[in-house]
Amino acid sequence: MNAPLLEEHLRSLKLPAILANYRRLAENARDPIAYLGEVASVEVERRHENGVKARISAARFPTLKTFDTFDFTAQPRAPKTKILELADGRFVRERRSVIFYGPPGVGKTHCLIAIGLAACTHGYRTLFTTAAGLLTDLLEAKRNGTLTRRLRSLDRFALLLIDELGYVPFEREATDLLYQVISQRYECASVGITTNLAFEQWIQVFPDAMTASAVIDRLVHHGSVFEFSGTSHRLKSRDGNPQTRAKT
């Protein structure tokens, strides 16, 4: 096969990495099988990188954070080993849920983003949203008559990350939709949640104790709960800034 025909085939198969690298890799090739394997690995690696970038972009993370930059010394009660294990993506594969609970500013959102980024690298479609953003979106879809389609679109994500549950109060119509989302994903797909409310306080979010109990039961049955404590790191940074202290 001549080079122009090979290149035509590579274009038709949409193999740009092989097209761009096959001549360079062929220069020292003695074993055709090894050569083809090396060429194929270049294409696989390129597609993996592009896939990770696409999943991260589609996830809508507010910022990019990993566990490498998380200060576990500030959270001595949090089980570091078990939290880091979430980065292998196994909990997504097993359709389990994760809840990070604690006061504002102690790193819950950081960890939520970190497990989301890790899931993207392992090939799982992920979506990050605040509870307020999710419920506002669902209410709008309900009023527009597109709720069923919107709920189905959430099913495409192997991991749904819901940040700041309990920070903003909602009417029953909205929390009923949240209950529907969590129930729909139970044993079918993973959910990650951050909240400042202990479970006994979830009746502040859901309309009655029975609904709150049903949601908690579904999340905890195949899930892990990690409690954070301490003072907001943002307040610590603020108090430690001489210029800030001078202004207060």
Supply 106's token pair. Answer: 């102690």
Q: What are phi and psi of 155, to 5 degrees?
A: -65, -20
Residue 32 sits in the same domain as residue 105? no
Q: 46-102: per-residue pLDDT in tens? A: 889 999 999 999 999 999 999 999 999 988 888 999 999 999 999 999 999 999 999
Number of domains in the chain: 2
DSSP state string for 51-100: HHHHHHHHHT-SS---GGG--GGG-TTS-HHHHHHGGGSHHHHTT-EEEE
* Residue predicted with more confidence, 241 or 189: 189
Number of Cβ atoms within 10 Å of the Cβ of 207: 16
pLDDT value for 198: 94
Q: 12-47: per-residue pLDDT in tens? A: 778 888 888 888 877 777 777 577 767 777 887 888
Residue 136 sits in the same domain as residue 155? yes
Residue 17 sits in the same domain as residue 113? no
* Residue predicted with more confidence, 23 or 141: 141
Residue 85 sits in the same domain as residue 10? no
Q: 98-115: per-residue pLDDT in tens? A: 999 999 999 999 999 999
Residue 19 counted as domain residue: yes
Where residue 173 sits, what CATH number does that domain have?
Answer: 3.40.50.300
Residue 105 counted as domain residue: yes
Residue 80 sits in the same domain as residue 131? yes
Residue 27 sits in the same domain as residue 99? no
Q: 207-225: per-residue pLDDT in tens? A: 888 999 999 999 999 999 9
* Residue predicted with more confidence, 166 or 36: 166
CA dihedral 183, 187, 189, 195 (to 10 degrees): 60
The range of the structural domain enclosing residue 14 comes to: 3-58
| Beta bridge partner(s), residue 195 | 101, 165
Among 22, 43, 58, the domain boundary falls at: 58
CB of 10 closer than 8 Å to CB of 43 = no
Residue 104 sits in the same domain as residue 166? yes
pLDDT value for 141: 97
C-alpha 238/C-alpha 129 separation (Å) is 27
C-alpha 214/C-alpha 233 separation (Å) is 33
pLDDT value for 1: 54
